[in-house]
A and B are shown apart, each in its own frame.
Chain A
Amino acid sequence: MKKIIAGDYKWLLILTLIMALLSIPAACRSSGGSVEVLGEWGGEELASFQAMVAPWQQSTGYNMSFTGTRDLIAILTTRVQAGNPPDVAILPNPGLMVELAKGGNLTPLDSFLDMTTINQDYAQGWVDLGTVNGHLYAIFMKASDKGTVWYDPKTFTANGWTVPQTWDEMIALSDQIVADAKVPPAPWSIAVESGASSGWPATDWMAEILLRKYGGDVYDQLVDHTIAWTDSRVTDMWQMFGTVALTPGYVPGGATAILATNFQDGTYLPFETPPKAAMDYLGDFTAGFISTQFPDLVPEEDYSFFPFPTITEAYSGGVTGGADLVVAFRDTPVVRSFVQYLSTAQAQTIWVKRGGFTSVNNQVSLSDYPDVLTRDAAQQLTGATLFRFGAGDSMPAAVQTAWWAGVLAYLQNPSQLDSILANIESVAQTAY
């Protein structure tokens, strides 16, 4: 009998302990001095983000706790549905933001941010992208630029080639490089192998072509699927890419090499000794691949980029790319102070100086960028008159995957373009 009572006490003790443990997070939350941020960053990026937030923590005495996940969309959707969203989230593209804003899950930022300052600090294009139904819901930071064609300026000078400004000049230059048969003998390096997402570099090519030839409206219509994949402008986009990828002599090894070469290895060709190709189109992150593979090369002297050439004059400032968005789910003094702080040039400059961060805030001084190429990319982005997120990333995942697969099929059998497009269209019809 005695033993049983002792056992009961033990259980009581354990229960009390469990309850005490459970109440710890609740206690933390109720203190109000903390902001929980959900995002995809980890490692180097997270360290930089924490460095960026540190002065805010010091001056306000508030705390920031960061939850990093590779599966952001799933976790965020679940938490929002469960009524337990984080205070602030960093989203990788605006699609989810628009959905959440329309669902009434987000706090409008213009209710507490000084919009005069925001309009001063950010180009109209960026403010528009963060606005839903007349309210600002997101501010943009950490942008990337996909309008970059990489080349070796020394090779160009040595061979007497000039950087093309327009598509026609680019094709003329390509023909000239083939005809010159100098070193390098081929104008282009294109490589699309990327494991399960093979094909994406080509979809970046096409998105850039579409934006610069037909402008933002047609671009948005394809992303929203209000025009079909069988539309003549879409077909044209594929064929223009095909002109570069499939013209004999343009890419060493032709379509087979494009399919079999890893996209990262493809970026090396213009910078090998001797160079095997003159140009490679890929986003601004290419600088990292080149500097790691060829540590002796000097940026801007040995490797550099020129903006993707103009196709239609009216859309000449168009840039595709990506950017992380800051959105808020709760409206508390801590969240207000935190978001306000993140939007400032003062905060963003901290990460800019650490490297790997391109700000779209005009007030971030270009001289703060650690290297010339990031500065050039930042300049191209902050001045972008027409910015669009990478088309594939803004589409439903099924359509994006079908586009990738379509690229591979097209490169092997260009004559089947119509049936490939019909296929993507049928995926799109069920996905939207």
Chain B
Amino acid sequence: MGKLVANLLAKRRTPGRRSARKNYAFWFWVLPALVFVAVFLVYPVVGTLRLSLMNARSTANVGLDNYTWVFTDPAARDALLNNVLWFTLFTLLAVGLGVLLAVLTGRVRYESTAKAFIFIPMAISFVAAAVIWKFVYAYSPQGFTQIGLANAIGTGVGLPPVAWLVEQKLAYLGQLLPAPLHTNNFALIAVGVWMWTGFAMVILSAGIKGIPAEVMEAARVDGASEWQVFRRITLPILAPTIAVVATTLIIQALKVFDIVWVMTTGNYGTDAVATLMYKEMFSYQNFGRAGALAVILLLAIIPIMLINIRRFRAQEQNR
């Protein structure tokens, strides 16, 4: 058998000879992958597309009605806007903090301890983390004992208590955002950043460690300030790593589900596309709308995946 395979492979490498046997071998190798992709990717995608063009119970064709609903219904519009908010704010904060912490922790003696603390949230089961954060955000009306950490500190310095997960217009922050964006999403995004900063930091830190010390030394000898070293040497060399981390986090943000579901179930205007899709599918049994949301989510993720793959390939070639 081993010999046969070796023969086939050898034949394949001989240029200009296209025997029937060679074609056989080709299909033999490709078939499992094709079957896999067809069953687990192509079939569901086509099925979802079909569902998204039909009514709630998939009994009649309704054309693009479900897509119209996604872009006109207030709840669906909220979900789309929230995803945009997640996509920008979550990625910027997690990557930004990740770079900052990677650079800073690299320069102290207690580096591994500091990193371990920042990385711990990544290792905690999210349901446990949600309990922690529900306590942090716990709210009681003014004049009651505040058991939530955030409100205990806030009322301690004389601010009114805030129902972080419920209020759509938080004091101060409310003015910063245009009307349809709900500020309680910040409370959820903060949890996401808390969880994922450690991930960004660890990868970026490894990237920084990979920068040759000679380059930095040379720059310093030439009289560059630490900021200039960071700006002109570290960042450019780190750019591909940052891009990989950022795309991973963007995909994470687009499909965000667990944080929203466990903390608010998407109520109070915090629905993301994925949670709304789940509700339409399993709570309201509207397969058409759920399908349309799934397709939109897929379309949003495809370009980012392509960028990610292209980056990855470029990186592989550079090796």
Residues of chain A whose beta carbon lies under 8 Å from any beta carbon of chain B? 195-196, 198-199, 252-254, 256-257, 259-261, 276, 397-398, 401-402, 405, 408, 412, 419, 423, 427, 430-431
Contact = CB atoms under 8 A, between A and B. Distances in A.
Nearest to A195: B265
Contact of A419 (B55, B74, B265, B268): B74
A198 B262 CA distance: 12
Nearest to A259: B166
Nearest to B139: A260
Contact of A408 (B56, B139, B144, B267): B267
B109 interface: no
A427 B284 contact: yes
Nearest to A276: B144
Contacts of A401: 279, 283-284
B140 interface: yes
Nearest to B165: A260
Contacts of A427: 284, 286
Contact of A256 (B144, B166, B265): B166
B112 interface: no
Given A195-B265, A405-B267, 19 more contacts: A252-B143, A253-B140, A253-B141, A256-B141, A257-B139, A257-B140, A259-B268, A260-B139, A398-B283, A398-B284, A398-B285, A401-B284, A402-B283, A402-B284, A408-B267, A412-B166, A412-B268, A412-B269, A427-B284
A431 B139 CA distance: 36
A407 to B, nearest CB: 10
Contacts of B166: 256, 259-260, 412
Interface residues of B, number: 26
> Main SS of chain B's interface residues?
loop
A401 B265 CA distance: 12
Nearest to A405: B267
B168 interface: yes
Nearest to A401: B283
Contacts of B144: 252-253, 276
B65 interface: no
Nearest to A252: B141
Contact of A257 (B141, B265, B267, B279): B141
B57 interface: yes
A196 B140 contact: no
Contacts of B55: 430
A431 B284 CA distance: 8
B268 A408 contact: yes
By Cβ-Cβ distance, the 5 closest A-B pairs, closest first, are A253-B141, A430-B56, A260-B163, A401-B283, A260-B139
Contacts of A256: 139, 141, 163, 166-167
Contacts of A252: 141, 143-144
A373 to B, nearest CB: 27
Interface in B146-169: 163, 165-168
B278 to A, nearest CB: 11
A182 B318 CA distance: 77
Contacts of A199: 267
Interface in B172-216: none
A430 B139 CA distance: 37
Given A256-B163, A260-B166, A419-B74, A198 B142 contact: no
A427 B269 CA distance: 19
A419 B267 CA distance: 16
A431 B285 contact: yes
A188 to B, nearest CB: 12
B282 to A, nearest CB: 9
A401 B276 CA distance: 13
A253 B163 CA distance: 10
Given A259-B268, A260-B163, A260-B165, A430 B285 contact: yes
A259 B163 contact: yes
A255 to B, nearest CB: 9
A196 B127 CA distance: 13
Contacts of A419: 74
A324 B269 CA distance: 36
B90 to A, nearest CB: 23
Nearest to A254: B141
A178 to B, nearest CB: 15
24 contacts: A195-B265, A252-B143, A253-B144, A256-B141, A256-B166, A257-B141, A259-B166, A259-B268, A260-B139, A261-B140, A397-B283, A398-B284, A398-B285, A401-B279, A401-B284, A402-B283, A408-B267, A412-B168, A423-B75, A427-B286, A430-B56, A430-B57, A430-B285, A430-B286
A397 B281 CA distance: 12
Nearest to A251: B141
A421 to B, nearest CB: 14
A408 B74 CA distance: 15
B16 to A, nearest CB: 53
B137 to A, nearest CB: 9
A198 B268 CA distance: 11
A5 B163 CA distance: 76
Most buried by B among A199, A261, A402: A261
A26 B269 CA distance: 55
Nearest to A197: B265
B261 to A, nearest CB: 8
Contacts of A261: 139-140
Contact of A196 (B163, B265, B285): B265
Interface in B30-47: none
Contacts of A402: 283-284
A42 to B, nearest CB: 22
Contacts of B143: 252
Contacts of B165: 260
A413 to B, nearest CB: 9
A115 to B, nearest CB: 40
Contacts of A260: 139, 163, 165-166
A197 to B, nearest CB: 9
B45 to A, nearest CB: 24
B283 A257 contact: no
Interface in B233-270: 261, 265, 267-269
